[in-house]
Amino acid sequence: MKRLNCEQIKNHLPHRYPFLLVDRVLEYEVRDHLIAIKNVTINEPFFLGHFPENAIMPGVLIIESMAQAAALLGEVSMVDKPSEDALYYLVGVDNVRFKKPVVPGDQLRIEVHFEKERRNIWKFHATSSVDGKTVSSAELLTTITAPKA
């Protein structure tokens, strides 16, 4: 079983606080699946405005955490490693569902399953859960490209 801690995750993703939304990878299998966690704390900057009297993690950030986990699975699955200045892009989100809110104190468990790769577009199915109950799911499309000089 392969794992990644926060420092190792930062070696694979360009995101940094406050926008790195994956704290740990519990396990992954190349070109198959990845399980990650995001610890949701009251100190998250988005809770100041979403919503001050009823703190709820924004759905778009739940999608972003799933997209970051998908990018991690894609990157660790690549045979030819990309250049250090390469960037991952989320290029599609389909069939998104939100089933319950995520609040401070929750631990978001993100499961990503590789579906296919075609012409540098990777397709994943992702779900996130809290305490074993699904809170959201989506199909994600990602790609990786080197920035233009």
Q: Domains in the chain, please, with CATH? A: 2-145 (3.10.129.10)
Tell which residue, 94, 100, 86, has the closest CA to residue 115. 94
How does pLDDT run across 35-57, given as a tens digit for each residue?
Answer: 999 999 999 999 999 998 999 99
Q: Tell me: cis bond preceding 18? Omega within 30 of 0 counts.
A: yes
Which whole-number Å values give the CA distances from 11 to 38, 50, 104, 134, in the listed order?
17, 30, 27, 29
How does pLDDT run across 65-121, given as a tens digit for each residue?
Answer: 999 999 999 999 988 777 777 888 999 999 999 999 999 999 999 999 999 999 889
Confidence (pLDDT) at 148: 62
Q: Please, what's the b/e burial string for 102-124 (b: 16 or more CB within 10 A of its CB; e: otherwise)? A: beeebebbbbbebeebeeeebbb
Residues involved in catalysis: 50
